[in-house]
Every structure is written in structure tokens, then in C-alpha cells.
A and B are shown apart, each in its own frame.
Chain A
Amino acid sequence: MKTKNIIIVALLVITALAACKKLDEVPPKTDTTSTKNYNLPRPTVLTQEERDFVLKERQEYNELTTD
């Protein structure tokens, strides 16, 4: 019984002392890299007119670089 009381008291004292550990005032610095993304418009398929425009641009550049 006496031993049991001593153990209980010892456990209580240890718990009390451990609870009074000095905590960091400043939380650890973390780099927040997680982000949630926004939905952006999907690219659309070129119309024939737009394709012709792009083709013309490429032809002009090819002529420039093969001169």
C-alpha cells in the first residue's frame, strides 16, 4: 500500500513537471507551398481562318531563315 502510494505520488509529480515544459513562443517557420488551383479556360481548336493565319506566319519565318 505504501509503495503504491509512493508510485502514484511520483507519477503525479512527474506529470506536473512535464506539463510545465517551456514551449516555443514562435511556431516553427514553414514554407506554405500547398496551393489550390483555379480552373482556367481550356484552349480551343483553331478555326480555318486562324490556321491560315498561323500557317502564313510560319511560311514567312521559314523564308527568313532559309534565305
Chain B
Amino acid sequence: MKKIFIVGFIALGLLSGCTKYLDVKTYGKAIPETSEEFAALLHTHLNDIDYGNIETLLDNPDALLDIEVITDNFSLPLSLSGGRNLPKYIGSSLNDKQVRYEKIYAVIRDANIIVDNMKSVANQGDKNVLGTAHALRAVAYYQLLKEYCEPYTTDDQAGLPIVRSFDMEERPLRSSYGQTVAFIADEFEKALTYDVKDDIYRYTADVVKAYQARFYFWIREWEKASVLAKYIVDKYPLVRGKHYVDMIQSKHAKLENVLLKSYIYGGGNSDNSAVAAQNNITQRPLSKNFTDLFVEKEKDIRYVLSFDEKRINNKVLNGRVRSAEFQLILAESYAHLGKEDLALQAINKLRAHRIEDNIDWTVATLPEVDAKSLITVDAEGKPISKLINSILNERRKELYAEGDRFFELKRNGRPEFWSADNGLKYTTEEYMYTFPLPRLDIEVVPGLVQNKGYKY
């Protein structure tokens, strides 16, 4: 009996020694060690862009279809029979945005693992990995800011939960908008210190500067946006004619002044969905309100490139970062800074590359603002001027089918509008321009504040 107790006591001691399972933080074997192992974390996400797999960092054809057909560029009532399954308005996909939020934070998680644990920066290979990790983190947070926060008005408004390191137990609350912006700005600067030039990492220094321009433009830092935009357009000049058409209609190849492109490799799992997206977009004609913007008709190279005589899409769907966007950022930034002459110069330069026999606009010859236009206030909340209205209309034509319109509406006043299908009215309300944080997070994390308007 005594021996049994002794043995039992020893066994108990052995059992209680096994406390390793209580430790939830990861150590040792789970963390990469070499720069190749760290790089593997990046290439998962970069491959998703290259093969057009998922749209987390850059829209693939499927994502572009969903975000385009719900805007005022398209007409829901005119949908053909094959367009019944297309989203009717942004409300059709708002609940799905919860999954998108989680996917973006998964990119941040992997970037955090690299930034936290990669100690050696001995050579350019290491710098490429660390620089790209910072770039991905900056771009991911910028995407989240654009989609899940309201447009900037004050630094105190709600920003994002900022997760700087990999910790499964961490449940941060939302930082302020000002804190979020400061973090993102810092991340972009850190990415640039590594001066990534190897294109295999996709987010080279110039691509980072392009996103930095987009970021400053979104938060209304016009001076900073204009400096970066000028750098991009000077280094990647606008093209015209056949070069422009080939660049836009290229299904895979990244041509001319395109800095970054989704789906550059075909033959993977995305081929079927890309073909389907290109077919499905033809099931919803474009709105007359949009096509009427092409005043110069066939003299504007974008007229035939964008749609046919039945207002059916012609443009190849592909996520891109290209120079013309920064020409538009430059023009609008100058306009907001009160530099009218420079703004006109910038927008006229774009038009000269697009419209045959173009006559430059002057302050006196700018078109009037259409009273029926959805956008009535600019990004600063002021009544829209003829100059900014003209720039926004050029942007709407230039970046048609590139995932821009919805966010332009968000940036410029979040106008409510409705569309109709089968006798029912679907209204895009102001709050719907800001996507919801996942409901599971709201329920599990005490104090985490949801965006306005979302009920359950």
C-alpha cells in the first residue's frame, strides 16, 4: 500500500511537470529564422496579387466587378437577364466586408511576424524582406482606413485597432484617426528607408511612393500628395494612342506606366472567375449619366475603350496602380491648394493625351457643374467648384472600371442615391460607405466601437 502511494505521488509529480501546454505564446520552432523563411510569409500575399487569387491588397477582376456595378456608373434597372445575380447596391455585399477585414489583418499579422522577429539586416536581401513587410503593413492599414473608417474630418474620430506585433491574445481597441494616420505615415517612411528595388517583391520604392501619394490624398494632405504625385508622373510619363489602349486592355502583361498590377499570371485558379467577371459585367449596361460625360465622343480614346454603342462595358477588368491616377491626384491637390493655374495645367495635360484636337480649358471655359450630379460637395465639404467638378469628371472617365468610383463618392460627401430592381428601391445610405467591423469582434472585445448604422 505504501509503495502504491509512493509511486502514485511520483507519477503526480511527473504529470504536474507538463505545464508547457499552458504557454499560449509561440516560441522557437514556429518562428522563421532565415530571410528566405521570412520572405515565404510575404510571397504568399504577393502571389495572391500576381495570380489574381484574392483581392486583399489589390482588386482582382471579380472584386472590381462587385465594386463597380453598384455605383452610378451602371444602371441597375437596365440589367439584362444574366445580371440578376450581380450585387444590386453596396448593401448586397456589406456583410461580406467582415471577412475582408479579417483577411487584411492576416496580412498585417504576417508583416508583424517579420518586423518583430527578423533581427539580421545584413544584406540587400534582408532589406528587401523587411522593407516589403513595412510596405505591406502600411498598405494594409491604408486600405482599412479607407474602407472601415469615415472620411477624415478630425483627428479625434474613430480610427483602427492598431496591431504592431504578433500576439494572439491581444485585443486592441480602436485608436483615434490621428493616431492611425501617424502610424501609417511612419510605416510608409520605414518601408522607404529599405529602398526595395527588386521587382519580385512588387512593393518597390516607387510603388510605396505611389501608395503614399494615395494615402496623403485620402487624408487631404494636399501638399504632400502633390509632391509624391509629381514624382510618379515625372518618372512614369503618360502615354497616348495605341500605347494607352494596349496598356489598359492588356489582360496580364504590366505595360507602359503601370507600376503594379493584379493577375499578371494566368493559368491558375483565377482564370475561370476572371472570365466570368468579364462576361458578367456586360449584363448591366452603363448609365446615361456616365456615358454623357464623354462629350467629345470618339475623339476621346476612352469612349470606345470603355463601352460600346449599347453602353455595354468594353474595358478589361484588372487592378492597377498607374500614372494617370497620379496626374489626377496632382491636379486636384493643386486645386485644393488654390493653385488654379497648376491644376488646369495638370488636367489639360491628361486631356491632351486622351482627346484628339483637345482645346485646353481655362478658368473661363471650364464646363458648368451639372445640377443633377451626385457629387455636390468636394473632399473638404465645400460646394463643388467648376474646376474640381471637371477634375472629378475626368477621373470618373479615366478610372472607370478600376474600382475608383465608389471611393470617390465616399471621399466627396457620401451622397445617398437609389436604384431600382423589380419594383423595389435600394438606397445607398451615407453609413454604408463605411464598412462594418466584424460582429464577432464587437461582441467579444469589450469597448470596441462599431461604425455608425450597423444593427443586429
Contact = CB atoms under 8 A, between A and B. Distances in A.
Interface of A: 5, 8-9, 12-13, 15-17, 19-23, 25-27, 32-41, 43-46, 50-51, 54, 57-58, 60-61, 64-65
A58 to B, nearest CB: 6
B122 interface: no
A46 B17 CA distance: 71
A43 B77 contact: no
Interface of B: 3-4, 7-8, 10-11, 14-15, 17-18, 20-21, 23, 26-30, 75, 77-78, 91, 94-95, 98-99, 102, 168, 285, 288, 309-311, 418, 420, 423-427, 429, 436, 438-440, 443, 454-456
Nearest to A43: B424
Contacts of B443: 36
Contacts of B11: 12-13, 15-16
A61 B309 CA distance: 11
B427 A57 contact: no
A46 B423 contact: yes
Nearest to A17: B14
Contacts of A46: 420, 423-425
B455 A38 contact: yes
Contacts of A8: 4, 7
A36 B26 CA distance: 29
A36 B454 CA distance: 12
Contact of B285 (A45, A54, A61): A61
B20 A38 contact: no
Contact of A64 (B3, B310, B427, B429): B310
Contacts, number: 107
Contact of B4 (A9, A19, A21, A45): A9
A60 B288 contact: yes
B424 A57 contact: no
A27 B21 CA distance: 11
Contacts of A36: 439-440, 443, 456
Contacts of A15: 11, 15
B427 A41 contact: yes
A16 B11 CA distance: 5
Nearest to A11: B11
